[in-house]
Amino acid sequence: MVDKSSRLLSLADIEGKTSPHQLQVKGALKMRAAPLEYVKDVEALAAYLGGRVVKPGIGEDWAVSKEIFPGVIVSFIFNSSDEEFPARLRALYSGDKIRMVKGEELATITISLANHLLRYVREANAGVKLPDICYRV
C-alpha cells in the first residue's frame, strides 16, 4: 500500500486542473529558476531555507523540502539547463494535512520561499553578477 501522505502533488492535483494558483506558481518559479544554477552547496541551501535535501527520484538534479505547517511539506525540485532546455524549478506538495490548506496560501508561501532561495544565491555568490531577479527579492 502506498503512503498517500508522502505522494508528491502539484497545486493542480490538490485544487483541480483549473487551478489559477498552479499557473501563478509555475510562472513565478520559471522566472526564478536560472539563478539556481549558481547553487554550489545544496545542503547549505536547505539549511538556509530551514529544510532538508531530499531525493524524490523524479529526474531532479537536486531537491529541498520544508515543512511549512505541521503535516504540510513543499518540495522544490530543480533541473539544471542543458543544450536543449532551460533550468527548471517546480514545487510539489506532500503531507497528511495538505488538503487542509487553501491553494492561495500554498501559492503565497511557495513564492515567498522561492524568493528566499534567491536570497541564498545572492548571499552565497557575493561579488558575482547574478540575474536581476536576485536583487529584487
Give the confidence band of 5 by pLDDT, cuts at 50, 70, 90: low
Indicate if the pLDDT at residue 86 is higher than 50: yes
Q: Judge contact between 101 and 124, C-beta under 8 A.
A: no
Tens of pLDDT along 12-60? 899 888 888 999 999 999 999 999 999 999 999 999 999 999 999 999 9
Ranges of each domain in the chain:
4-135
Give the CA-trace dihedral at 35, 108, 8, 47, to 10 degrees. Answer: 50
At position 78, the amino acid (one-letter code) is F
